[in-house]
Amino acid sequence: MTERTDEHTEQTAHYPRLPTDTDNGLLLMISGPSGVGKTTITRGVERSIADSVFSVSCTTRAKTEADVEGVDYHFISEEDFQALIDRDAFLEWADVFGKKYGTRKKWVDEQLSRGRLVILEIDVEGAKQVKAKMPDAFGLFILPPSEDELLRRLQSRKRESDELIAKRFAEAKHEIAEAKSGNAYDKFLVNENLDEAIEEAIMIVKAARLAHAMQSDS
């Protein structure tokens, strides 16, 4: 176990132990460009692993009629968000087109202390922030079979203009290159067939969790 993990254990030790708690906590980051199927794969992992919990981000963006507080996001004011930044309360945060999004560190710490699989669906910049603070976090990046196939998938959604599709495609290529060049990700998974990719993702996560538990015991 690393020195950073020992510090993390000390920080989370104050949470009262519950009968359902285990020592098998793992922070899982799943990333991938638009159109690669990462959300479907993330939900597949969440449904298939009983003690998994999905992290709900805080945001300063306005709540719409379709949004559910605590399910889609935790909606907070700019002032409250800034106060959390000032207290270093976020595991990661970002400003996206003037709206802020962030993952509360306290909630993640508590879930990990309970032995949960904590899932973050996150972009590359966010994953870098998390990995710097928690090196034991496991990063899984979802890749398309090819650039041509990614472009085809973006076009097949038929809900965006050609200009926006071209922008998303360029961003996707940049995100893939950034993910491959960094150290935030432990595994890269090619989504060629969605059902098979979900099954493979589940196996990867279970293996990572077992390896993490064995490392913690040694």
Model confidence at 218, pLDDT cuts 50, 70, 90, reads low
Specify whether domain 3-217 bears CATH 3.30.70.120: no
Share of the chain above pLDDT 90, in %: 78
pLDDT in tens, 143-152: 999 999 999 9
pLDDT in tens, 116-127: 999 999 999 999
Q: What are phi and psi of 62, to 5 degrees?
A: -70, 145
Question: Strands 58-59 and 74-75, how do they pair?
Answer: parallel
Among 153, 156, 131, CA closest to 142: 153
**Would you tell me how many other CB atoms lie within 10 Å of the CB of residue 95?**
11
Domain ranges of the chain: 3-217
CA distance 138 to 6: 17
Contact 13, 99 (CB under 8 A): no
pLDDT in tens, 169-213: 999 999 999 999 999 999 999 999 999 999 999 999 999 999 988
pLDDT in tens, 48-59: 999 999 999 999
